[in-house]
Amino acid sequence: MRRDNKPYSVRLLINAFRALYTRWRIVPQFDSVGTGLEIIGAHRLEVYGPNIHLGNNVHIQTARGQMSRLCTWPNGKGEHGTIRIGDNVLLTPGLQIVSAGAVEIGDNVMIASRVYISDSDWHEIYDRLDSPGPVAPVRLEENVWLGEGCKICKGVSIGRNSVIGAGAVVTGDIAANVVAAGNPAREIRKLDETADFRTRAAMFDDIEKYNKTMKYLHYLNHKDNSYLRWIRHLIWPSRQD
């Protein structure tokens, strides 16, 4: 549909159900979860394995046809991988983070759709039955921005504020305050290190104001919808829907 035709009261009911489902079904799967967790499409989020940690105000989005996965696996040495996600992080549809070692995502990181992050090759080159193969930690420092569809390979560290272009394949370390792109990813420009970066943390400086703003935006989006119009569009949609 071109717009969301649900009445505002239905939207509030759906929001309440999402929050209940997240607390009941999703939160217990993490080893630790901060405050302010928001998940859109929690039934399309796969969480597998221990040692997965979320900071405060983590926002996770999924979409139809785009499952998101946070998974840890044994490393073959009696240990499991670890995923640590910091505060105010945005994770969008189709994301996959898979760890047999350690993946660390700093505060205020933004990750676009269909990004793949892995700290392992998952098979050894000569012995294809040897899994997970070579393992090396991945670290994204504060305020990193990963563009759509990029791949972050084992052993990679990306410095604070850096931006990785869409579709890039990152096989080596990326310095702080740069834009990198390509396959393999290379620095293509520098950012102004003296600039005053405004991060996602600013959204949550006043959490009460943030919650009121989001509720008001939902109201504006649904305030003109009626139950009659909603039912009609479900049965007989038109171009206005």
Query: Could you list the active site residues?
Result: 123
Boundaries of every domain in the chain: 1-30+206-241, 32-199
Amino acid at 133: G
Amino acid at 182: G
**Three-state DSSP string of 77-135:** CCCECEEEECCCCEECCCCEEEECCEEEECCCCEECCCCEEECECCCCCCCCCCCCCCE
The region, left, alpha or beta by phi > 0 then psi within -120 to 50, assigned to residue 143 is: left
DSSP state of 18: H
Contact 149, 166 (CB under 8 A): yes
The torsion angles phi and psi of 239, rounded to 5 degrees, stand at -65, -20
Residues 6+ apart with CB under 8 A from 62: 39, 40, 41, 42, 44, 45, 68, 93, 94
CATH of 32-199, one of 2.60.40.1120, 1.10.3720.10, 2.160.10.10, 1.10.150.120: 2.160.10.10
Q: How far apart are CA 179 and CA 162, in angstroms?
A: 6
Strand partners of residue 74 = 80
The answer, yes or no, to whether residue 241 has pLDDT greater than 80, is no
Contact 138, 100 (CB under 8 A): no
Q: How far apart are CA 42 and CA 51, in angstroms?
A: 19
What mean pLDDT comes out for the span 67-80? 91
pLDDT band at 231 (very low <50, low <70, confident <90, very high): confident
pLDDT digits (tens, 9 = 90+) for 16-54: 999 999 999 999 999 999 999 999 999 999 999 999 999
pLDDT digits (tens, 9 = 90+) for 149-179: 999 999 999 999 999 999 999 999 999 999 9
pLDDT at res. 238: 81
Q: Which of 117, 171, 113, 114 is nearest to 140 (CA)?
A: 117
Upstream peptide bond of 50 is cis (omega within 30 degrees of 0):
no
